Structure 1
Amino acid sequence: MTTAQEARGTWPATDAGRAVLIAGPTASGKSALALRLAEATGGVIVNTDSMQVYRDLRIITARPTREEEARVPHRLYGHRDAAINCSVGMWLDDAAAVLAGIRTSGRMPIFVGGTGLYFKALLRGLANVPQVPAEIREAVRGRLERDGIEALHAELARKDPVMGERLKPRDRTRVARALEVFEGTGRSIADWHAHGLPPLLAPASMTAVFLAPDRGELYARIDRRFETMVAHGALDEVAALAERRLDPLLPAMKAHGVPALIRHLRGEISRAEAAAIGALDTRHYAKRQFTWFRHQLPEFEWVLPVEATRHLNLPD
């Protein structure tokens, strides 16, 4: 019996109800582990990272390479344009369609990524907020740029006191989102959150692991990886994105490293300074990922990356 066959004997790849969830901070080795599991079981990898959905940002978001994507089926990677604000709801709709196809094929879905809200939506469901008309969204964003976040937060507090109290006055993205939902639907986003969509996965039918490497080792790896990204095409990737002159509030425009590299391209800071800022932002994000998953998703079992293969019953 081959190694892959042995793994298939451990993992019921033909069990249409089985799923594996692999989460963890950025640069913890999630993608490599998912690839190994998918190769061993015949599974399908499903992106669960909010930045890796954008086709414009392969390098700086550390998406799987084209060679890796050719080895096993990958879904929901680079399928959205950077001009789109891919919300959790949009991703969940995409994931539901992909999951249905995987189930039909009899394969095992392997959800991998670091976006806690995506995993939470998979397991807990999501508020069913209607699509806000583009003209309302653009008008709100226009007022934000013209009048500033303080004025927009004051407007939100008048129209939607609940969210005005709940959101920090400097939280540009969430304040704008709350205001556009209220103007587009006539209801507070808090009301919509009270009535949501059902979860896609049942806890009893899944294995969920969170890769938890040593912090010092992880931060050093983040620094090395960011330098490698910049040296191998990330700067050109960001330059092409900057040329599109998209709304700076779009998620793709705020991907870790993108704002700093754009500043470098404008001549405001050196390449070394941009790389240092991008790496620092990524380390801060990794720290938040540890905290978020610990408090929000107790379903995940924390494991050291070196122990993950044994934990998932994969051969060494």
Structure 2
Amino acid sequence: MKAVLIAGPTASGKSALALDLACAIDGTVINTDSMQVYRDLRVLTARPAPEDEVQAPHRLYGHADAAVNYSAGMWVNDAVTVLYEAREAGRVPIFIGGSGLYFKALTRGLSAVPPIPARVRDDVRARLAQGGPEALHRELSLRDPMLALKLKPRDRVRIARALEVVEATGRSLTDWHREGLPPLLPPEGTVAVFLAPDRAELYGRIDARFQAMLGQGALDEVAVLAARKLDPLLPAMKAHGVPALIKFLAGEIGRDEAMAIGQTDTRHYAKRQFTWFRHQLPEFQWVAPHEARGWLANALSLRGLN
């Protein structure tokens, strides 16, 4: 089945483009963003507005709880169901988001790492909290020395993940990555575009949007999330702006400082998105946002999808 893939950095106009396209070609908009899966963070992750969601089917938005360590593997499993639904309804699937790993899993396949038992994950994170990342890195050096050499001693998330995998499976994460699962959508079956706005203009939009979010309910979202006392290593707890806003709500930093941290983190993330897609998914066509509608219309015409 043909599909459209719309990627790009945060605040580049992807959601509006996807909605316009879905209305024009009877498409189903499918979230391909690792943070917009969480129901707890509609405002702070810039999920589509409810009035937009009624104009065309939207799937995989806000369907996961913040307490869930939602992964690319879980997303692929959910995407299989959504693809089947779109096929049955005769609609074109439109995958839209900024998470490069999700797009790579979609078109290139995914590593076959089995689920990690909760007891193993809890034990590793307890040791991380007690001894810090450097101590865990020393453990990893004994269990998986080749991978440990590639990780910085203070990279909490990757060290914990690597140790979880080797303790649960007896094999290195690197070994599991070699044994991948097949892609859902081979690249030749897709029209793939990456929105590439001017950097300075994009960073200005990021700053303005984050500031606006604070007045649109983002602080309330984070206050509710903070009250749950969830594991700080969970993906939702590391969403851009969440750690800084939690510190602000706790009285540890001022509002302006929290906002500046959130803006800076988001700009840095956008920069990483440019780099990641350039090197990891070169099949995406880079297009300026104001040219994207015309480019897609032409590409879809050539594929017989419009």
Q: Normalization by structure 1: what TM-score? A: 0.93
Asked if 1:165 corresponds to 2:146, the answer is no
| In structure 2, distance between residues paired with 1:117 and 1:170 | 22
Cα deviation 1:123-160 (Å, max 9, x = unaligned): 11001111111011000000000011000000011011
CA contact (8 A) 2:108 2:186 kept: no
The whole-number CA distance in structure 1 between the counterparts of 2:148 and 2:84 is 39
- What is residue 75 of structure 2 aligned with on the other side? 91
How much identity, in percent, do the aligned residues show?
A: 68
Please report how far the alpha carbon of residue 113 of structure 1 lies from its aligned counterpart in structure 2 after TM superposition. 0.2
Range 170-179 or range 157-166, more displaced? 157-166
* Per-residue deviation, 1:191: 1.0
Q: 1:229 pairs with 200, 213, 235, which one? A: 213
* Cα contact 1:25–1:212 (8 A) shared by 2: yes
Distance in structure 1 (CA, Å) of the matches to 2:257 and 2:51:
32
Say whether residues 1:252 and 2:236 are aligned partners. Answer: yes
Q: CA deviation at 1:296?
A: 0.7
| Aligned pair partner of 1:282 in 263, 266, 276 | 266
Question: What residue is the counterpart of 2:188 in the other structure?
Answer: 204
The one-letter code matched in structure 2 to 1:241 is L
User: Which runs of 5 or more structure 2 residues have no equivalent in the other structure?
Assistant: 299-306
Letter in structure 1 aligned against 2:218: A
Q: Secondary structure at the match of 1:52?
A: coil
For 2:303, the equivalent position in structure 1 comes to: none
Give how far 1:162 is off.
Answer: 2.0
Offset at residue 71 of structure 1 (A): 1.1
Structure 1 counterpart of 2:164: 180
Instruction: Tell me the distance in 2 between the aligned counterparts of 1:292 and 1:115.
Output: 10
Aligned length: 299
Distance in 1, matches of 2:81 and 2:151, equals 33
TM-score (norm 2): 0.96
Write the letter of the residue equivalent to 2:212. Answer: T
Q: 1:127–1:193: 8 Å Cα contact kept in structure 2?
A: yes
Greater mean alpha carbon deviation, residues 74-83 or residues 305-314: 305-314
**Please, which of 188, 196, 199 is the counterpart of residue 215 of structure 1?**
199
> Residue 104 of structure 1: CA displacement?
2.0
Correspondence for 1:137: 121
For the Cα contact (< 8 Å) 1:162–1:190, is it kept in 2?
Answer: no
Q: Does 1:269 align with 2:253?
A: yes
Deviation at 1:244, TM superposition (A): 0.3
State the Cα deviation string for residues 193-217 of structure 1 (Å, max 9, x = none): 1111100112222100000000011
SS class of match (2:273): helix
Rounded Cα–Cα distance in structure 2 between residues aligned with 1:192 and 1:249: 22
Equivalent runs, 1:1-316 vs 2, <5 Å: 17-313=1-297
Cα-to-partner distance string for 1:2-58 (whole Å, 9 max, x where unaligned): xxxxxxxxxxxxxxx110000000000000000000011110000000000001000
| Shift >4 Å, 4+ stretches | none
CA displacement at 1:67 relative to structure 2:
1.1
SS of the aligned residue for 1:148 comes to: helix
* C-alpha contact (below 8 Å) 2:140/2:163 kept by paired residues: yes
Q: Which residue of 1 aligns with 2:302?
A: none
- Say which SS state the counterpart of residue 64 (structure 2) adopts: coil
Output the CA distance in 1 between the equivalents of 2:4 and 2:36: 19
